[in-house]
Amino acid sequence: MSERVFNFNPGPSTLPLSVLEQAQKELLNYKGTGMSIMEHSHRGKVYEEVNSETEALLKELLGVPEGYRVLFMQGGASSQFDLVPLNFLPQGAVADYILTGSFAEKAYEEAVKIGEVHIAGSTKELNYTRIVEPNEIHLSKAPAYVHITSNNTIFGTQWQDFPDFGDVPLVADMSSDILSKKIDVSKFALIYAGAQKNLGPSGVTVVIIRNDMLEKVPKSLPTMFRYDIHAKNDSLYNTPPTFSVYLVNLVLHWVKNNGGLAVMEKQNQDKAKLVYDAIDNSAGFFTGHAEKGSRSLMNITFRLPNEDLEKAFIAEASKQGLVGLKGHRSVGGIRASIYNAMPPQGCKALAELMIDFAKKNG
């Protein structure tokens, strides 16, 4: 393939071209040190600078207030499904989970193995076509925390406004929409996100944790599972995924150079609108999975009139250099993942193909 394609993969997903080019340029000799960043000791000054700058950049871009730490961990968001209850769900306590998609369910299923869990709201019986309404949320008496999934990667729904449960710690899996828009971090006790959607490559998981949560961690927990140990050691308790963190650093610089989250948000809205308009103006040829009030700016899910047309659509898209559009098996149809790094031209090309395809096959 002579040219890069528009990559709509859900994760790992497309990265900014300029980031890949910079990584390529620096691959053999990082900043004149005569070696790759991959070859540097994680205890050396060169890597430590990458580590601390990446934490600082994330705090700056997200507007993380005083009193929080940013950690770089391993094991993906899936490990966080276990670590959150291991750290914050002691015996005798109850944790509340709001189910809005497959990953929320997985997080819930892991917590069930560890302690007592209450489902505080769910749209499972609607096949997760929308986020729960505020009046459908019923918390347990004194939850240790409430867990939500901010963007449902598989179903293509996204919380538009975050709930406020007062003093109850709010924990959010933001794997597929972190950095896509401005958020009020002060509403959250803990945010986690696997990097491979909106932050960089796979291999590192970002955790943003409020300091008072660090004090709740049981000392009896195995060392590598303890958030407080990772915080105390600036994410350098053991060897971190140095190259992944370095790439996250480059992506954060890219976001900053592009104007930060306000610009990302506007761009993401404009990009998503191109594709949603193509669905809404197709006279029923395309049907969106998500209800309009819950639509995701990151993952757009839709069906065509039948599976043969869906296959033909994916084949035609691929011919035009638009790849990774096959929907998840639990929803079927098409899923266009249009994270920060998807250029507007990619969404424009997809929307044009949709309009053209509907005209020819409708």
Ligand X SMILES: *Cc1c(COP(=O)(O)O)cnc(C)c1O
Q: Which is nearer to ligand X, 303 or 335 (CB)?
A: 335
CB 245 within 8 A of CB 322: no
For the chain, the C-alpha Rg in angstroms (whole number) is 21
Pick between residue 88 and residue 286 the one whose CB is nearest to ligand X: 88
Task: Decide: residue 106, CB within 10 A, 0-12 exposed, 13-18 middle, 19+ buried.
Answer: middle
What is the closest distance, in whole angstroms, from the C-beta atom of residue 56 to ligand X in the complex? 24
111 Cβ partners below 8 Å, 6+ apart? 81, 84, 85, 89, 95, 97, 117, 147
Q: What is the DSSP letter of 169?
A: P
Report the side by side order of strands in the sheet with 334-337: 287-288, 299-303, 334-337
- At 64, list the tokens: 């993380």
Q: Which is nearer to ligand X, 96 or 173 (CB)?
A: 173
Q: Closest distance between ligand X and the C-beta of residue 32, in Å?
A: 34
Relative to beta strand 68-73, strand 205-210 is antiparallel
Minimum Å gap between C-beta 243 and ligand X is 16
Placement of tokens 């929080």 in the chain: 68
Q: Work out how close the CB of 206 gets to ligand X at its nearest, in angstroms, rounded to a whole number.
A: 11
Residues binding ligand X (CB under 6 A): 11, 76-78, 103, 149, 153, 173, 175-176, 194, 197
Run of H or E including 2: none
SS3 content of the chain, % helix, strand, coil (to 5): 40, 15, 40
Give the CB-nearest residue to ligand X.
76
In the complex with ligand X, the residue whose CB is nearer, 290 or 354, is 290
- Cross-strand pairs, 207: 71, 192
Nearer to ligand X, 341 or 358 (CB): 341
Cβ nearer to ligand X, comparing 61 with 83: 83
Burial environment of residue 241 by CB neighbours within 10 A (0 to 12, 13 to 18, 19 or more): buried
Q: Hey, what are 179's tokens?
A: 């950095």
State in angstroms the smallest separation of the CB of 131 from ligand X: 13
CB 299 to ligand X: min, Å? 8
Give the number of other Cβ atoms within 10 Å of residue 74's Cβ: 15
Q: Compute the half-sphere exposure of residue 264: CA atoms within 13 Å on the CB side of its CA.
A: 29
| Residue with Cβ nearer ligand X (40 or 197) | 197
The residue (of 282 and 324) whose beta carbon lies closer to ligand X is 324
Query: Closest approach of Cβ 207 to ligand X, in Å?
Result: 12
Backbone angles phi and psi of 230, in degrees to 5? -65, -35
CB 310 to ligand X: min, Å: 22
